[in-house]
Amino acid sequence: MPRPREDFEDLRAFEFRDPEEVLDREELYTVYEIARLLQGVEPGQELDPETENVLLDWAIPWMLDHSESFVFAEPEADDQPGYYGLK
């Protein structure tokens, strides 16, 4: 349900960082690690499933929007995630 603007004290600009600002060119990351990095969370930090899902909701569209900046490596097994890095 929409809410009136005056219900919110802190409105900020909606900005995403460029991939080069988030990722190290010499590393490859899972989408879960990228999602954490986008929010300033350490890549290996444990998160509850609900929080991780919210972070993924932000990371996946960001990655699609910047798809020209990424390379990927196939996962080592079918039940593991792939890895992504800077071109």
pLDDT (tens digit, 9 = 90+) per residue, 18-71? 999 999 999 999 999 999 999 989 999 999 999 999 999 999 999 999 999 999
pLDDT of res. 71: 97
What structural domains and CATH numbers belong to the chain?
5-86 (1.10.10)
Q: Is pLDDT of 16 > 80?
A: no
The whole-model pTM stands at 0.83
* Residues in a beta bridge with 72: 84
